Amino acid sequence: MKFLVTGGAGFIGGNFVHYMVDTYPEDEIVCLDLLTYAGNLETLKSVENKPNYKFVKGDIADRDFIFDLFKKEKFDVVVNFAAESHVDRSIENPEIFVKTNVMGTTTLLDASKEYGVKRYHQVSTDEVYGDLPLDRPDLFFTEETPLHTSSPYSSAKAAADLFVLAYQRTFGLPVTISRCSNNYGPYHFPEKLIPLMIARALDNESLPVYGKGDNVRDWLHVYDHCVAIDLIIRKGKDGEVYNVGGHNERTNLEVVKTILKALDRPESLINFVEDRKGHDMRYAIDPKKLETELGWKPKYNFDTGIQQTIQWYLDNKEWWQNILSGEYQEYFDKMYKEKGRI
Ligand SMILES: NC(=O)c1ccc[n+]([C@@H]2O[C@H](COP(=O)([O-])OP(=O)(O)OC[C@H]3O[C@@H](n4cnc5c(N)ncnc54)[C@H](O)[C@@H]3O)[C@@H](O)[C@H]2O)c1
């Protein structure tokens, strides 16, 4: 089978490309990415020369380019990770979120319809459900929870989900959607909570924590997310939504304290800063449908996963230090353009 993986130079897409290239050597994986600030080809260095892997630079919202690519490559499966993904950036500049997350998705859907893709999978987020109150630990998001978004980011993701489902109902396109809780693990861009805190703690810099740090997130190791998507693509039912989460709720403050303890740094590094506008209080996923219908079971819990992740950042300092210095953005020119590979 031939897979198009969009956003594969980002955090989760990059982990998914590694997983697919290694797990299914008989399948072909084409990674498409615009290489925005969040896309980093160094993430894909170790698969670069694998025979079942290819990289293409481009914009999912560029209709002519996408239609040409689909015509040429004849994909069987499309997995769409490409998105503007950072809530803080969506508060600063909502429009690019509409362009990439909504119009990029409808462009991919149109091309999938035109060229007979057998499975279109949309990687969505639990943020489309809004948030839950802190004083109701009995409540969880199910696939039936109404969409009720808070930020321009989650609004754009929810809009995209509705288009995906409409293409199934209206045109019979074979689609599936996964809505996952917060991911952590290797190759996470260092503006996000966990890698940011690891990097700053290692440098003995203060750790900025929004508000009182009592917002609760349901953390899932990115490896378990990749396995879930693979299962959904192969065994999921057309038109269905699957929630993905591992019941690992932690407050932001607990996460930061765990990192400080693991790195043997003092809690005095914590610096509480003004809260994010419209900050969601609690996300918590009920993954029963994925577990019972498709047999998914996470490999990591938060305690084992966070130790593996911290060790990865210690072992791969060059990867994230290149990002912090801005050097990673030159990698594409160096490796692809100058060598005439693209
Ligand atoms: N990170 C999480 O915790 C989380 C949780 C649930 C769902 N998700 C979803 O998973 C997906 C991937 O998230 P992530 O954290 O890996 O994001 P990311 O920001 O690390 O990666 C996004 C990638 O998309 C690329 N991209 C952006 N605009 C593009 C465009 N117009 N055309 C082609 N490529 C483009 C970027 O260059 C980048 O490589 C997103 O759709 C996000 O909504 C993320």
Each residue of 68-114: pLDDT tens digit? Answer: 999 999 999 999 999 999 998 899 999 999 999 999 999 999 999 99
Q: What's the whole-number average pLDDT of the chain?
A: 95
Nearest to 76 by CA among 17, 114, 117: 117
Total residue length of the chain = 342
Rg, Å, the chain Cα set: 19
Average of pLDDT values for 49-56? 97
Nearest to 25 by CA among 57, 43, 1, 8: 1
Superfamily of domain 2-188+220-246+282-301+328-337: NAD(P)-binding Rossmann-like Domain (3.40.50.720)
Confidence check: pLDDT of 294 > 70: yes
Ligand 1 contact, 130 CB (< 6 A): no
Q: DSSP H helical segments within 236-316, as ranges? A: 252-262, 288-294, 302-315
Average of pLDDT values for 16-31? 98
Average of pLDDT values for 296-318? 96
**DSSP secondary structure of 120-174:** EEEEEEGGGG--B-TT-TT--B-TTSPP---SHHHHHHHHHHHHHHHHHHHH---
> In percent, how much of the chain has pLDDT > 90?
88
In the annotation, is 127 catalytic? yes
Which candidate in 53, 153, 300, 313 is catalytic?
Answer: 153
Residue 337 is predicted with a pLDDT of: 65
Average of pLDDT values for 127-149? 95
Domain edges within the chain: 2-188+220-246+282-301+328-337
Residue 191 is predicted with a pLDDT of: 80
Residue 101 Cα to ligand 1 midpoint, Å, equals 9
For 120, phi then psi, to 5°, come to -110, 120
Residue 136 Cα to ligand 1 midpoint, Å, equals 30
Residue 216 Cα to ligand 1 midpoint, Å, equals 22
Residue 278 is predicted with a pLDDT of: 83
pTM: 0.95
Average of pLDDT values for 178-194? 94
Q: Identify which has the larger pLDDT, 202 or 342.
A: 202
Residue 143 is predicted with a pLDDT of: 98
Residue 84 Cα to ligand 1 midpoint, Å, equals 6
**C-alpha to C-alpha distance for 157 and 164, rounded to whole angstroms:** 11
Residue 192 is predicted with a pLDDT of: 86
Average of pLDDT values for 225-241? 98
Question: Is 8 within 8 Å of 14 (Cβ atoms)?
Answer: yes
> In percent, how much of the chain has pLDDT > 70?
97
Ligand 1 contact, 283 CB (< 6 A): no
Residue 334 is predicted with a pLDDT of: 72
Residue 48, C-beta contacts closer than 8 angstroms, at least 6 positions apart: 55, 335
Residue 331 is predicted with a pLDDT of: 66
Residue 335 is predicted with a pLDDT of: 65
Confidence check: pLDDT of 231 > 70: yes
**C-alpha to C-alpha distance for 187 and 184, rounded to whole angstroms:** 9
**C-alpha to C-alpha distance for 45 and 322, rounded to whole angstroms:** 14
Ligand 1 contact, 9 CB (< 6 A): yes
Residue 129 is predicted with a pLDDT of: 97
Ligand 1 contact, 11 CB (< 6 A): yes
Q: Where is average pLDDT lowest: 73-77, 155-159, 167-171, 274-278? A: 274-278
Per the DSSP assignment, residues forming a β-bridge with 241 are 177
Residue 324 is predicted with a pLDDT of: 86
CA atoms 150, 152, 154, 159: torsion sign: positive
**C-alpha to C-alpha distance for 244 and 237, rounded to whole angstroms:** 15
Residue 340 is predicted with a pLDDT of: 61
Question: Is 254 within 8 Å of 219 (Cβ atoms)?
Answer: no
Interval 1-15: pLDDT, tens: 999 999 999 999 999
Nearest to 8 by CA among 111, 82, 87: 82
Residue 342 is predicted with a pLDDT of: 56
In the annotation, is 153 catalytic? yes
Nearest to 70 by CA among 29, 30, 111: 111
**C-alpha to C-alpha distance for 341 and 57, rounded to whole angstroms:** 11
